[in-house]
Amino acid sequence: MLLEIKNLVKRYDEFLAVDNVSFSIKEGEILGLLGPNGAGKTTIINCIIGLNNIDSGSIKVFGKDLKSNELSIKKSIGLVTQKISLYYDLNAYDNVMYFGGIYGLRGKYLKECAEEILNFVGLWGDRKKSPEAFSGGMLRRLNIACGIVHKPKLIIMDEPTAGIDPKSRSHILGGIEKLNKEGVTVIYTSHYMEEVERLCSNIIILDQGRIIAKGNKDELKSMVSTEEKVRIKTSSLNYTMIDKIKQIYGVKECNINEEYIDIISKKGSKNLGKIIDMLVGSGIEIMDIAIDKPNIETVFLTLTGRSLRN
């Protein structure tokens, strides 16, 4: 395990921000850390990077206790903050050089790392420009470059694509996938569920300082899914066939909706093959099949009663 958190508790005076949280992250994993505002995400991140003292519990990073090995651990963690953290009186290259220096990079190696990371985020050609001349997407990419120039083993990304254009978002997501393929472990927070669906191998959902659900995408979706919905487009429809479909095991509802048949079955019925065989055997041509599955947004809304973006 690259990161192990056990029974973490953090209070701010009388306010319990993190309530007995435990989880672990394997090396090479992308973990999605989700929750509404005030759920405890930022507090947990600040505890992992040593900005917050914890009230009780333990944090191990790279197999070492954080409290007694804080300095050495911090050198191998990269932090990409939601707030753009740049110096606007320095150009892009000098910003990356400065942050690389903070992490202990020196001389020729620092210059090599700065060039490599600016090429990686697609800004080498703009390295002499001031951040003031950058678009929102370019600022985000420069912010990422400054946070990971030292080639960390663990990267924490807090809303790295907030408020940017689709092209820049795609560039950033592709970069994260490339880093992960190279073995980098990532903790990722986002209000964009499609990003979480694309990137994260495992997900933790927080609310009011507690973990209310965790697992991979399929495990989380199965928690809130009690039905299976299928829409079939056919060459012809008749109510006799609808009545026959309703007799198939597991089917709860079957209705005609224009040129479609909408079928709702009990979870785990595994009856789609029988439905298809019945239609084809009756001489009905199947033109399209769409299976409606729950997504992470559905899971989040069901468990917290709120949309993530709200």
**Quick one: pLDDT at residue 310?**
54
Mean pLDDT value of segment 73-98:
95
**Nearest Cα to Cα of residue 253 among 269, 233, 235:** 269
Q: pLDDT band at residue 206, thresholds of 50, 70 and 90?
A: very high
Radius of gyration of the chain (CA): 24
Q: pLDDT band at residue 125, thresholds of 50, 70 and 90?
A: very high
Q: How far apart are CA 240 and CA 245, in angstroms?
A: 9
Cα→Cα distances 210→12, 20, 34, 106, 158, Å: 15, 7, 11, 42, 19
pLDDT digits (tens, 9 = 90+) for 132-146: 999 999 999 999 999
Instruction: Give the H or E element holding residue 198.
Output: helix 193-199
pLDDT digits (tens, 9 = 90+) for 257-306: 888 899 989 888 889 999 999 899 888 889 999 988 777 887 888 777 76
Tokens of 99: 């942050």
Is residue 220 over pLDDT 90? no
Is residue 203 over pLDDT 70? yes
Q: pLDDT band at residue 156, thresholds of 50, 70 and 90?
A: very high
Q: How far apart are CA 171 and CA 176, in angstroms?
A: 9
Q: How far apart are CA 233 and CA 207, in angstroms?
A: 40
**Nearest Cα to Cα of residue 230 among 161, 196, 189, 279:** 279
